[in-house]
Each structure stands twice: as C-alpha cells, then as structure tokens.
Structure 1
Amino acid sequence: MKPIKIIGAKQNNLKDITVEIPKHKLTVFTGRSGSGKSSLVFNTIAAESERLLNETYSTYIQNQLQHYDKPIVDRIENLPVSMIIGQDRIGGNSRSTVGTISDIYSGVRLLWSRIGTPFVGYSMDFSFNNTNGMCKTCDGLGYIEDIDLNELLHFDRSLNEDAINFPSFSPDSWRGKRYLYSGLFDNNKKLKDYTKEELDTFLYQEPFKLKNPPSNWPKTAKFEGLIYRFRRSFLINDTYEKKKFIKDVNRIVTEQVCPDCHGKRLNDKILSCKINDLNIAEFCDLTIDDEIQFLKEIMDDKAKYIIEPLVKQLEALKRIGLGYLTLSRETTTLSGGESQRIKLIRHLNSPLTDLVYIIDEPSVGLHPEDIENINQIMLSIRDKGNTVLVVEHDPDVIKIADYCVDIGPGSGSHGGEIIFTGKYNALLKADTPTGQALSRVHQFKPNVRTASDFINIEHITKNNLKDVSTRIPKGVLTAITGVAGSGKSTLVQTGLKNRADTIYIDQKPVHATNRSNLLTYLNLFDDIRNYYSKATGLTKGMFSYNSEGACPNCNGKGVIKTELAFMSDFVQVCDVCHGDRYREEVRSAKVNGYSIVDLLNLSVDEAIGVIPIDNVNKILKSVVRTGLGYMTLGQSLDTLSGGESQRVKLSRYINESVKNHLFLFDEPTTGLHEEDFYTLKRVFDYLIDQGNTVIIIEHNLTMMTYADWIVDIGPYAGFAGGKVLYSGLPKGILQVEDSLTGKHLFRYIKNESIS
C-alpha cells in the first residue's frame, strides 16, 4: 500500500521537509514544543486534505464551508480524506449538554416516551428545547437570571454623573444618550431621589414612542427602560457585545435555580412520567456509571431494542474515562480533554474506513489511569482500516505507535526538520530530545523544600466534594493529583482561586488575531513605538501596522487575499511591502541600525539590549526564562502552540516585584515536551525563591516527581471520588493503597510500561 508522501513542506518553520507516512498504521509525531509538529500535521496534511475535499463540492456548498489556504508544500501524494479531532472545546450554549451533543439523549427521550408511566407525550415532548416539554418559567434553561440593581446603578449619582455602571451606557455613548436625551428625567437629579414612578419608567418601561421628544432625540427611536434594554442586549442571546463585556455582565447578573422546575428544565407534566421511580431529568442527573446500572435493571422486553444501543453508547463513554459525567452536564463546562474524548468516541462506531484520523494530544486532561482506555480507542479506529496520526508528548501514548516521526531538534527557527523516523524501540535509542526524554529513569526529588506555613482549605462542599478539608504548604511546589473528574479543580478553585493573593494561569490559549503579536500582548509595543517616534520624528502611529503606518496596499496585513467566486480565496504576499506590513517611509526609518521591521523580525534572545528601555529588556528577559527566547517579537499570537501560549502568560509574572503570591497552574505541562519541563521547573523554582507559593493541578508523572508536596484526590471520578486520599511528601503516596496516582508513580519510577 502506497504511503502518504509529503514532499517539500515549508509551512511556518518547516525546512523544506520530505517524509513518508505508512497507511493503516498509528503514527505519532513527537518533538519539542514549537518544533513544527502542528505545522506538518495540521497546517499541511490536514489543511490540504480539507481544502481538496471542499473543492469537490458545488460552489454554493463551498461558500458555506470553512476556507483553507493552500499550504506551502511542493506536493502531497496518496492523501486520504481526513477527520480532525482537536483539543478545542465543543462549545455550544446553555441548551447543549453531554446528552444532546452525543445524541444519547434522543434514545433516552424515546425510552421514556415508550415505557414511562403515565404516558405524557411523544419523544420530542421530553426535550427541554421543545415548547411542549420545557419549563415555561425558565424556557428550559433550568435557571433564571436576575439583575443586581446595586451593581448596575450608582444611586448616589445623576445621569449626567454616569449613574449607569456599565461601559456601553456612559453619558457620551449612544445607549446613554437614549436616557439623557429622552426628556423624561432631570439629568442632574440623583437616582436615589427619583420618585417610584420615575424609577419605574427609567428601569422597566416597555418600548414606546415619545409624544414630544426633544430635538436631539433620534426620529425613529423608541424609549425603553434600562432593564428591558439590558436584558435584550446582554441576556437573551449570546451576542458579540455580551462576550465583549462579559466581566461586567457577570458582575451585574446573578443566576438562580428556577423556582418552578428546580433546575430540571422540564415542566411538571413531563416530569410526572417515570421509569422505576425516576423521571427523565433525575436519570440524566445520574453519573454515566449509575445510568448504565439503572438501564440494565429495566425488565421490559418492548424496550430492549432501545436500551441495548443506549447502554453501548454509555459504556463507550465510560471506557474512555468519562463515567463520572452526567448527561445533563452543559457542554460549555467541559474541558478540552473531555470535549476531545466525546468527539473521538463518536467516530468509534462509524462504518467509514480508509480515512486519516488526525488527533491532537489525546492525553490532555487525562490521568495515566485513563490513558490506556484512550489508547485502545485509537487502536480500534486503526484496526478498522484507517490511518491514525497523533501529535503527542505523553510517553504512554507514544509507546503504542506503529511508527514515530520526531521533529526538531529545537523550537521555532531551531526546529522544522525531521530528525528521526522509525519504530518506538529505535526512538528510545535515538540521540534526539524525544529519545533522551523517553529513555530517562525517574526518581523523586531528593531534597524537598520545607513549608514555611500552611494554607487551610476547609469544609468545601461543591460538585462531588462533600465537606472536604485539607491544607496546602506555603513557599513550596505542591502538585494536586487524581484522575480526571476526581475533584482536583473544584477543590483548589473553590478554596483558593478567589483569594486576593492568587494568580491563576490556566491552559486556555491566548485569545488573539493575526494583528496581535508578542509585543502587543506584553504591553511593550507602545514604549517601543514612542522610542522610535522620538528618534525619527515620525508620529507614534506610523510605527503601528494597525494604524497610520500600515502599508496602503495590504492595509497592514502583509498579504493580499483575493476572493474568487468559484475557487478558494487566493492569498499572496503583498508586492509593495513584501509581507512587512508597513509603509515605505517607516521601513526605511532606522534606529540603532534597526528599522521597526528589522526589530519585529528579531528573536527575543536577539532583541535584548537593542532598545535601551529598562522595562522592555526586563520583560524580554522574563520571556527568555520561560524558554521562549526563540520567538520573534512580531510573531502573530494566533500561531502559538498551547504550551507557548501558557508560557507567554506566565512570563508577565517573572519579575522581582511579584512576591508573596499564590500561583495556581491548571495542568502547566499541557502541550509541553518532556525536555521543556526543565524550563518550567526553573520558573517554578524562581517564583518560590521570590517568596511565592506554587500549586499545580497536574497529571504528568515527571512533574509529580519534582513536587515538594502532593495532595491526591480520588480514588475515582465523580461521586466515587471527591476525597483527599493523601496529603504529604511525594514518596509517601506510594504507600497509599487506594491511590491510582501512587500506583502509576510506582511503575514510573521502576521504569515499567503502563498496565
């Protein structure tokens, strides 16, 4: 069988590489963070497969699909249709649950409509998104939203004094003027002095046309009360503006469980229908583990054909470590790892074959106990006659590969080359960063730090935690461990996240566009543009490609995109600025021998000392300490890997002024190669040396061996977890019989394979 052949790949940092990938095998792509793995697998192979598939559809259909630019590669041969399973969260909204996204809820609805008693309706009537089934009070959401007037309003101010405490309702905004210009109120009168009638009009008046509006009132506009307008603009729909002002919306809006359905989403008629004393909402609130048991106890021959496939679907979720979830869990609350596994399981029963499945770090969010399950799913997909390509760092996933492609040797411009291809056993002996990391023997850190004091977390009752207490040592590195869903995040976020001294750094990517770069994120570009402006006499705006300095031909984008009606968009480098984004007079203006373009093309390592501004150099040195010295100053943030994003966020805090804080990291090794852990460890050591406390929620065994203290939650997920199994020095966990973490640490130190 002919392999997939990539010839002359030059996407991003790839250095004109050629590689063959065997079909109907599981190939793992390894390498340092930022080495070029994603550039090859996602930006080249997956993008070209998707692009070519889209071109087979009609023009009308193509216009409805995502457009993929042609990757920079000479050619790709024998390329199958791809299925891409990324780490991005499933998304959705409050109406989307694990049950609806997996389509399992359809079978559950059918079951209750067929054998539930009393009979109350057909399958669709059991949907909380259907008007016949939903609770009318909350429209099937399970909660109602209320507005806190004391947060929305400054009652001791007048309208002229900015009485509405929300950004888009200031007196000079168009929304604010709808109250100032209405003629209905004394704009200098404090809100606390309004009569009841005035306050009711101001807050609750439904839209109406003003009879004799002032001259500055818009001709076609209607007046509507503030609460009426606020609900319409920020509560009813997930609008762009709601997302833009989400912090202020969350400050003002409180959620309360619906007083009528008590969070069940359905009306009383539907909830009266039961099977073995449970209504459909109560069933969906069970964990998947308990739902399987419940369904197996139903003795009804008529329902067999419904129950058997339902049990099969639920057992598939259990098999990949999601038995702790409930079908009623909103998809917006799922982690990236949970979302990825739900997407993966949907493909397991697909009859399609001869596809290439491209999977991005399936180990993310998984405890070693759960990795064996995800491995079996991927091998099953391969065994059905598919090709599986996996980008991965975890040793326990790499071990199952039929074939390995190692990319490196370093990151950014120091990577982008194929440094090894072959079988796993050969990779162990290879002189590459991955080979060295995989063959290393691990031990607990010999000298652990002693705590200066302890932080007490007391009586936490939330989700699966029931009156849980523990203590976290100060001035050391603590790892919070346990299987996915055991209660780790609930414990530390509830107990610690809202403390004034806590700095929380999660694994979400930096939200950015191709117009934002490393300097803009670090708030350094202003200082640099001021410096260039003073030195050259050009205005500050001229040194921004988002402002006056933008190349007039490409508007500062560096590329020209031509929309072709019958084909994909054609993108080419701007032939005026040659991709540099700036006007000619800006590109030719130099300071200390560097134009602004030259500066943006420098790596962080190269740029230190070029601009004589202490704050700039200090922060760039912080970036270097996180291992990102290879990044260029002008690199678009939307090109960063997950590991790079997290370290960019971390670099903001690596300075002498950050002391006596509690740093809380959610899986800081996400997206990191084992060789990059040394950089992370040095950063943690630096923070602790500055008098800070570092807590990591972590699944990675290598990072656990470096901890000074371990708090293990478990033993299992959901309601079978939620207990503190161990709290103490790391090596003590090996003696805890119920600890799955202890079990895997023991075999890791013994250098044994996962079992």
Structure 2
Amino acid sequence: MIAGIADGFVGRNARGPMHENEGRSTASCIRIRGARQHNLQGLDVDLPTGRFIVVTGVSGAGKSSLVIETLYAEGQRRYVETFSPYARQFFERLDAPEVDEVEGVLPAIAIEGGTSVRTSRSTVGTLTEIADHAKWLYARAARLFCPGCGEEIVPHTPETVAADLRRRFAPAARLAVLFPLPVPERLPAETVRAGLAAQGYARVVARTPAGDGNWWWWVVQDRFRLETIEERRLLEALEAAFAQGQGRLAVADWDELRNRLGEPAETGEPLFCERIPAREYRRERYCGACDRTFFDPSPGLFSFNSPVGACPTCRGFGRVIGIDWDKVIPDPSLSLRRGAIRPWQGGFSAQCQQELEMLAPAAGVRLDVPWRELSEAERRWVLEGDPDWIDWETSWPQHWYGVRRYFEWLESKSYKMHVRVLLSRYRSYTVCPDCHGARLKPEALAWRLIAADEAPPPGRLPGHDLPELFALPVEEAAAFVRRCAAGIQGKTLRQVFEEIETRLSYLCEVGLGYLTLDRASRTLSGGELQRIHLTTALGTSLVETLFVLEEPTAGLHARDVARLIGAIRRLVDLGNTVVVIEHDPQVIAAADWVIDLGPGAGAQGGRLVAEGPPAAVAAHPASLTGAYLGGRLRVQAERTPREVGEILGCDSTGRASTT
C-alpha cells in the first residue's frame, strides 16, 4: 500500500533512497537527547538534515512538543543569541525546552497555521512580498494614461513630436511651431519685440495669462508644409523650440490659427487669448487636451502602506468608518412622526424629534408619510438640513440643521463615554468614496501595465493598473504577468518579472490559484495562511535552514496535496531540512524519513515507536501508523449507511424518538 501511495511523487527518490542508518553522524543529523518537554518521556531521536521529515502519531502523542517546543524553540533561541542584546529585543523569545542535549540544530523558521495576522493592512500580496516587487515594477515598466481623456502620456522628444505630427495632421497641412516666452507684466512690448528681433524672431501670434499678472508670448519658431519639409529641418525646429520654451512647445495649423486669431501684429502687444489654439508638447509628462502635468513615479506611489501612495481619505485601508444610514433609519415603512429616525426616539436626543416636527411643515416635508415614499428633496432636507444653513450661530433656530449635523455635533462630544457608545451603534465601515477600495492615490491609478500582445476592446484602456492586477485571481495574474514579461529587454526588469512570476507560480502549485492578491490576510483560513508562508519561504531561496510546518494539509483538497508536497520538495532540494507534523498518508509516503510517536496519548505517549523511511515504518509491527500505511489496518469504508433521523435521535416524521 505504501508504494501505491508514493507513486507519482516526482523527486521522491531524486536524492537516492534512505536507509535506517543513514544520516546518523553528528555532521549530517540533528541529535536530540533526553527531551522531556510536556509529555515527552526522555526522548532520544536523530533527524537527518537536508531531508523531508514527517513526525506523526496519534493525537496527544507529543508531536508538537517535540517539533515546535523543542526542536524549533532551541533552533530559534540559538539563532537569536547570535545577535547583540539590543537586536534581541525585536525578536520573539521562546523559553528553553526541557532537554538534555540538542546538537547540529539549524537556524529555524516555523511556518505555523492559524490566523495570527493582526493588521488589516496585510494582504496576500504583502505576505508573499509580491506587492514589494510590483510597486517597483510599476514604477519602471508601467505606462501613463491621462485620467481625464484616456490618452497615453509620454515625455516628448523632437523625434516623438515629429512622429505624432505625421500621425495627426494631413500631409498637405501648413504647420507652425511655437514656443512660449515668459514676459513680466511691466516690461514694455516694444522692448520684448526688439529682443526677439535681435535673435531672428519676427512673429508673435498671441499672448496667454501666466499668472501673477505675467504673460506667455507665443513666438513662431518655424513654418512649413508637412509633406515637403525635410526630417532634419523639422527636428531642428522642434529642438530649438524646446530649448527656447524651457521644455515646452506648441504646434498649430497655420491657416486655422490665422482664421481664429487673425494676422499676427508686428508691433505692440500681441492678441490676447485664454489658451493658444494649438497642440502643446512638453519634455515632461503632460496632457495637452486636459492641461495637466504628471510626474515620474516612485515605488512608494504604488504602496498603500506609504504616505506617498496611500489614499489620503482612507489612509490606504480602502474603507472609511462613517454613519450607516440603514442603521439610522432601519425601517423605511415608518413615517417621521412615528419614529423613522431611530436615535431620536428616546434619551437626550428626543428633543431633536420635537424640533424636526416643528420645522418640517414650513419646509413642505410630510411627517405622516412612510420614509420610503418621501421625495428625494424631502429626504435630503431631513438628512442634510436646510440649504440656507450657514452655522449654528446664524442659522439656528430659523433653519433646520439635519441629521448629519446632529452626528457631527456628537463627534465634537466624543470625549464622553456615553456619546462614543451612542455613535458606535450607528457607524459601520464603507468603501472609501474617493479611491473606491483601491487604497491608492488617483495619480497611482493612472499607471497601467500592458502586455505586448494586448488588444483592448473599444472604450477600455489597455492593461491593468495595480489594484486591478491585484484583484485578479492568482492564476489569471500569473498568465498576465507572463505575457507582459515576453517583450521586456532590460536585465533588471526581467529579474523583477521573474521574481513575481515565480511567487505567483508557487501559489498556484500549493492550490491557492483562486485567491486574489488584494485578499485581506485576516480572512484566510489557517491552512491557506500556512501555505502562503510556505511560498514566501520558497521565494526567499534560503539554504541550510530548518523549516517546521504543522499540518499544512489542513483544509486542503486531496487533489492539491501533491502540489503541496512538490513545494516542500523544492525547499529540500535547495539544501534545507523540512520537518512536518502530519497525519495525511500521501504526505507521509512522500517523506524521506518518518518518526512515529506514541503509542498512546498524554501520559501514554511521548515515546519513539518507529523511525526510518516510510516503507520501514509501514512494516514496523508496533506502529499504529505503519499498520495503516502497510494496509494491515484500514478505515471501515464499507459501512451500512445510517439514516439522518437515527443519527439525530428522531423518527421519520422528525419527532424525537422515545426509544
């Protein structure tokens, strides 16, 4: 039976078969002598290093006492002692186990189960460190799209401007290249024109406001017909305009410009206009259609844990706490007079109900109609107050303050305990109204990662911004990242893509491909959390380290057990030692070494029953685990099914049985 279970586990014998005497020297094993932690009975055991070891046995036999509270505790304690006293205060300190001697122990990492995550900022992406790589990736490889018009924004050079002109204008179009010249308000126009003439510039088409009373004079750098101009002359004109305009230039259709502004004046002030009728280009990231400037991104812009990138409204949480109107008005079938507004139906707030009934008739608000039948204007008046409201000193009691200002007044009194209790009854978390749960600033959402082969449908921007990528299931996110990496040339970017793709593939291998990277860690089950920690350990590529896992198959579908074993085998192949507390026969059969504790639980346990390769344990006559592995015992699968009523103690009619 043991051979049948082990079939199909690739890598099971990749390092050669193990024998019972293998790994017994102090140089290649961890020696534990006289372990007495909890119910351990002076246990002596050797664990071969660089192997996949399973510790099994009946519940209460002392598995956790041996693996967690003896082996891991001693390894972690010795590792922490290598640091300075100042550094030790930042580490978790475990008590020294009751044991005579532990030799050859490695630096230990416990990948524990259970939902021990306390912060709501933690997500699957942060736990696996994918978020750290992704923010760097978006800062270097993402492309910017204007939130207003959806047009891609790139820093312009003379070459990119020339290409854009040939794409936007007809070949026969007559174009003019303009640059802005800053002119102080009190500088005489003739002085400015004389200075321009000295440099060879004769035409100024218009002036636009530059703020603080100053002006932009738009000077003609060159005019040409697009189909006849030489590429060299075009690039020289654009380069000169960028230089004169301090990184800014504009290109206009000359005929359209003259039709709208008239022939440029040769003397005096140029014609005034609010905005030049031309397409503007800048060396920086700028949207000419929306007149909006963007800045180069930093990795912090894509982190909701950084003040640089976190949404200022929700501070990167994606949710805000506020008044829940469904709790304030829980029964919309009630009228205002019958108590539709719950907090005003007793206590010191009952006076607000009287004031509402006093002012509502004058505002045309019906008091005896169910809340759900009131018009939108009537509801707005009740909740938001009179539109003419200014403040409490000037507006009350002539104008109605509204339910919202009532809660704002309570907020000002929240230093009182009973007020805080009252507020808590009517509050709840809602999605942030500004970032809509994305957690990031709008500037970060304008950057999108795009696959080379992507062809978005009309009306939709290509690729994904960071929150959209993290909202994809891990399997879909892995496929998208793989497509994006196909066209990457830079060595550094390729390494970042590989890191992200590797961690996503590890999540898929352990059966977590259905999760999303923005899933809060608090909502994960213990088994999911433990497997995520396992993929994190794989991603760090540690070697010569002791990894301890406690029942990693908990909550795992049987079809995903082989994937989990493959991930553990990867850790072992890197040169690590993995010790797993487990009952699953598939995991036991795939191990290199098995330690069976027992024979019973509590005071009857804590002893070594059998150890060795899985086949040796399966053949051991005293091992209960071996009896099931070897097929000598089996779970009774062919039992006569019992009726549900029999199990619950009732008859076929659902009544309690009297027998």
TM-score w.r.t. the length of structure 2 is 0.55
2:319 aligned partner: 143
Post-superposition offset of 1:87:
0.8
Deviates more, 1:79-88 or 1:59-68: 59-68
Tell me which of 256, 271, 286 is aligned to 2:445.
271
Question: What CA distance in whole angstroms lies between the structure 2 residues aligned with 1:306 and 1:79?
Answer: 34
Counterparts of 1:370-385 in structure 2, within 5 Å, are 370-385=560-575
Give, as a single letter, the amino acid of the residue that structure 2 aligns with 1:78.
Answer: G
- Cα gap change, 1:225/1:203 in structure 2, threshold over 3 Å: closer, same or farther? farther
2:432 aligned partner: 258
Post-superposition offset of 1:125:
0.8
Determine if the alignment matches structure 1 residue 117 to structure 2 residue 321: no
Post-superposition offset of 1:38:
0.6
Number of residues of Structure 1 aligned to a counterpart in Structure 2: 406
1:403 aligned partner: 593
Tell me which of 283, 288, 293 is aligned to 2:469.
283
Q: Could you tell me whether the CA contact under 8 Å between 2:319 and 2:430 is conserved in 1? A: yes
Tell me which of 400, 406, 409 is aligned to 1:205.
409
Q: Could you tell me whether the CA contact under 8 Å between 1:206 and 1:225 is conserved in 2? A: no
Determine if the alignment matches structure 1 residue 8 to structure 2 residue 44: no
2:232 aligned partner: none
Q: Could you tell me whether the CA contact under 8 Å between 2:129 and 2:536 is conserved in 1? A: no
Q: Could you tell me whether the CA contact under 8 Å between 1:7 and 1:19 is conserved in 2? A: yes
Counterparts of 1:405-554 in structure 2, within 5 Å, are 405-430=595-620, 431-438=622-629, 439=631, 440-441=633-634, 444-449=637-642, 475=644
Question: What CA distance in whole angstroms lies between the structure 2 residues aligned with 1:312 and 1:256?
Answer: 35
Counterparts of 1:740-755 in structure 2, within 5 Å, are none
Counterparts of 1:601-616 in structure 2, within 5 Å, are none
Gaps of 5+ in 1: 156-163, 166-184, 210-220, 232-248, 451-474, 477-684, 694-755
Q: Deviations over 1:333-352 (max 9, x none)?
A: 11111111111122224454
Question: What CA distance in whole angstroms lies between the structure 1 residues aligned with 2:349 and 2:121?
Answer: 44
1:656 aligned partner: none
Bigger CA radius of gyration: 2
Question: What CA distance in whole angstroms lies between the structure 1 residues aligned with 2:405 and 2:417?
Answer: 8
- Cα gap change, 1:208/1:307 in structure 2, threshold over 3 Å: closer, same or farther? closer
1:369 is paired with a residue whose SS is helix
1:241 aligned partner: none
CA RMSD of the aligned region, Å? 3.7
Post-superposition offset of 1:89:
2.8
- Cα gap change, 1:444/1:261 in structure 2, threshold over 3 Å: closer, same or farther? same
Q: Could you tell me whether the CA contact under 8 Å between 1:406 and 1:420 is conserved in 2? A: yes
Counterparts of 1:69-148 in structure 2, within 5 Å, are 69-89=95-115, 91-118=117-144, 121-148=297-324
Q: Deviations over 1:273-331 (max 9, x none)?
A: 22331222111111121112212222343443432332122112212212211111111
Question: What CA distance in whole angstroms lies between the structure 2 residues aligned with 1:314 and 1:64?
Answer: 30
2:16 aligned partner: none
Tell me which of 73, 80, 83 is aligned to 1:57.
83
1:313 is paired with a residue whose SS is helix
2:40 is paired with a residue whose SS is coil
Question: What CA distance in whole angstroms lies between the structure 1 residues aligned with 2:507 and 2:542?
Answer: 20
Q: Deviations over 1:179-229 (max 9, x none)?
A: xxxxxx9869677557777988874337779xxxxxxxxxxx9669936x8
- Cα gap change, 1:116/1:436 in structure 2, threshold over 3 Å: closer, same or farther? same
Tell me which of 488, 506, 514 is aligned to 1:316.
506
Gaps of 5+ in 2: 1-24, 145-152, 154-293, 332-341, 357-399, 451-461, 655-659
Q: Deviations over 1:226-260 (max 9, x none)?
A: 36x877xxxxxxxxxxxxxxxxx7x7543333333
Question: What CA distance in whole angstroms lies between the structure 2 residues aligned with 1:267 and 1:337?
Answer: 34
Question: What CA distance in whole angstroms lies between the structure 1 residues aligned with 2:113 and 2:537?
Answer: 15
Question: What CA distance in whole angstroms lies between the structure 2 residues aligned with 1:428 and 1:687?
Answer: 38
Q: Deviations over 1:420-467 (max 9, x none)?
A: 1222112222332212232245674443345xxxxxxxxxxxxxxxxx
2:609 is paired with a residue whose SS is strand
Question: What CA distance in whole angstroms lies between the structure 2 residues aligned with 1:351 and 1:102?
Answer: 13
Q: Could you tell me whether the CA contact under 8 Å between 1:93 and 1:330 is conserved in 2? A: no
Post-superposition offset of 1:90:
5.3
Q: Could you tell me whether the CA contact under 8 Å between 1:204 and 1:225 is conserved in 2? A: no
1:373 is paired with a residue whose SS is helix
Question: What CA distance in whole angstroms lies between the structure 2 residues aligned with 1:25 and 1:363?
Answer: 19
Tell me which of 350, 353, 366 is aligned to 2:543.
353
Determine if the alignment matches structure 1 residue 32 to structure 2 residue 58: yes
Counterparts of 1:145-294 in structure 2, within 5 Å, are 145-148=321-324, 192=353, 203-205=407-409, 226=419, 253-276=427-450, 277=462, 278-294=464-480
Question: What CA distance in whole angstroms lies between the structure 1 residues aligned with 2:315 and 2:652?
Answer: 51
1:676 aligned partner: none
Post-superposition offset of 1:406:
0.9
- Cα gap change, 1:139/1:355 in structure 2, threshold over 3 Å: closer, same or farther? closer
1:469 aligned partner: none
Q: Deviations over 1:15-57 (max 9, x none)?
A: 2222222222222111111111111111111112222222332
Q: Could you tell me whether the CA contact under 8 Å between 1:94 and 1:141 is conserved in 2? A: yes
Post-superposition offset of 1:692:
13
1:217 aligned partner: none
Q: Could you tell me whether the CA contact under 8 Å between 2:50 and 2:575 is conserved in 1? A: yes
Question: What CA distance in whole angstroms lies between the structure 2 residues aligned with 1:448 and 1:272?
Answer: 60
Question: What CA distance in whole angstroms lies between the structure 1 residues aligned with 2:653 and 2:353?
Answer: 45
Give, as a single letter, the amino acid of the residue that structure 2 aligns with 1:35.
Answer: A
1:21 is paired with a residue whose SS is strand
2:100 is paired with a residue whose SS is strand
Determine if the alignment matches structure 1 residue 391 to structure 2 residue 391: no
Determine if the alignment matches structure 1 residue 362 to structure 2 residue 548: no
Question: What CA distance in whole angstroms lies between the structure 2 residues aligned with 1:72 and 1:692?
Answer: 58
Percentage of identical aligned residues: 32
1:67 aligned partner: 93
Q: Could you tell me whether the CA contact under 8 Å between 1:90 and 1:331 is conserved in 2? A: no
Deviates more, 1:376-385 or 1:283-292: 376-385
Question: What CA distance in whole angstroms lies between the structure 1 residues aligned with 2:498 and 2:42?
Answer: 52
- Cα gap change, 1:338/1:308 in structure 2, threshold over 3 Å: closer, same or farther? same
Q: Could you tell me whether the CA contact under 8 Å between 1:202 and 1:225 is conserved in 2? A: no
2:61 is paired with a residue whose SS is coil
Question: What CA distance in whole angstroms lies between the structure 1 residues aligned with 2:608 and 2:469?
Answer: 51
The structure showing larger relative contact order (alpha-carbon pairs under 8 Å, at least 6 residues apart) is 2
Question: What CA distance in whole angstroms lies between the structure 2 residues aligned with 1:254 and 1:188?
Answer: 21
1:296 is paired with a residue whose SS is helix
Q: Could you tell me whether the CA contact under 8 Å between 2:502 and 2:539 is conserved in 1? A: no
Question: What CA distance in whole angstroms lies between the structure 1 residues aligned with 2:74 and 2:427?
Answer: 45
Q: Could you tell me whether the CA contact under 8 Å between 1:207 and 1:224 is conserved in 2? A: no
Question: What CA distance in whole angstroms lies between the structure 1 residues aligned with 2:76 and 2:314?
Answer: 41
1:64 is paired with a residue whose SS is coil
Give, as a single letter, the amino acid of the residue that structure 2 aligns with 1:97.
Answer: T
- Cα gap change, 1:308/1:426 in structure 2, threshold over 3 Å: closer, same or farther? closer
1:30 is paired with a residue whose SS is strand
Give, as a single letter, the amino acid of the residue that structure 1 aligns with 2:59.
Answer: S
Question: What CA distance in whole angstroms lies between the structure 2 residues aligned with 1:106 and 1:43?
Answer: 33
Question: What CA distance in whole angstroms lies between the structure 1 residues aligned with 2:324 and 2:581?
Answer: 47
